[in-house]
Amino acid sequence: MLPRVSLILGVFASIAAATNVTIINSCGETVWPAIFPAANGGEIGGFELTENDYLTIILPEGYSGRIWPRTGCDASGNCETGACQGGINCTSPAAGGPTLAQFTIDGYAKFDYFGPSSVDGFNVPVAITPDYGTECNLGPVICTGQDEGEGCDETFACPTGIHYTVGFCHS
Ligand SMILES: *[C@@H]1O[C@H](CO)[C@@H](O)[C@H](O)[C@H]1NC(C)=O
Ligand SMILES: *[C@@H]1O[C@H](CO)[C@@H](O)[C@H](O)[C@H]1NC(C)=O
């Protein structure tokens, strides 16, 4: 009986701790977001996102990985920038070049650690915006160019459990 009860509680706990991240494409053209390791329990590694469209993905507690834009992709996932293995539905990090939105969810002491990074390179402006509120009152942190922008290549922390927006070409 007891093991069964704790298993059920464990399932609820992991659902409660999941973090939603909404990816928005404000570039004037289609981009192909990629996520490694894949989001939504390994289901979403990458997809096509048309101009002004958005999609919300779910990262589990303990997740550590990155979201990045790919540009100029064909149907097989060959891209001008940000290409990975696995085609459109990525199964590896990018070989090199793209701007990254890095996330560690519930990394330490119930805090998420995140930041936009151009350390691997820069292709498209990437902004991360935690939901405003008393718990984490930070504006967008953004890489607008290689090592350029408010908060580019820095790491930020917010209490686990809030929602984030990752904006490509956010202005
Ligand atoms: C996250 O997204 C899921 C699925 O869309 C939704 O059911 C859930 O309420 C969201 N959680 C939060 C904290 O926004
Ligand atoms: C993407 O890959 C994952 C892992 O292999 C798989 O579970 C999922 O169904 C794939 N999604 C699509 C849209 O092909």
Query: How far apart are the CA of 95 and the centre of ligand 1, in A?
Result: 32
Q: Please give the DSSP secondary-structure letter assigned to residue 144.
A: S
State if residue 22 touches ligand 1 by the CB under 6 angstroms criterion. Answer: no
pLDDT confidence of residue 2: 42
Query: How far apart are the CA of 119 and the centre of ligand 1, in A?
Result: 31
Closest Cα to atom 7 of ligand 2: 43
Query: Are 97 and 81 spatial neighbours (Cβ–Cβ below 8 Å)?
Result: yes
pLDDT confidence of residue 134: 67
Query: How far apart are the CA of 130 and the centre of ligand 2, in A?
Result: 27
Query: Are 44 and 20 spatial neighbours (Cβ–Cβ below 8 Å)?
Result: no
Question: From the DSSP assignment, how many helices (H) and strands (E) are in the chain?
Answer: 1, 11
State if residue 30 touches ligand 1 by the CB under 6 angstroms criterion. Answer: no
What are the pLDDT digits (tens) for 91-102?
Answer: 999 988 899 999
pLDDT confidence of residue 7: 44
Domains of the chain: 19-168 (2.60.110.10)
What are the pLDDT digits (tens) for 138-170?
Answer: 889 999 999 999 999 999 999 999 999 999 999
Q: What does the alpha-carbon distance between residue 101 and residue 156 come to, in Å, rounded to a whole number?
A: 12
How do the pLDDT tens digits run along the chain, 171 residues long?
A: 444 444 444 444 444 569 999 999 999 999 999 999 999 999 999 999 999 999 999 999 999 999 999 999 999 999 999 999 999 999 999 988 899 999 999 998 999 999 999 999 999 999 999 987 767 888 899 999 999 999 999 999 999 999 999 999 997
Give one DSSP letter per residue of 68-135, joined into a string. Answer: E--BS--TT---SBS--TTTTS--S--SS---EEEEEEEEETTEEEEEEE-SS--SS-EEEEEPPSSS
pLDDT confidence of residue 6: 43
Ligand 2 atom closest to Cα of residue 47? 13
Instruction: Show the ligand 2 pocket: residues with CB < 6 angstroms.
Output: 38, 42-43, 45, 89
pLDDT confidence of residue 72: 97
Q: Please give the DSSP secondary-structure letter assigned to residue 2.
A: H
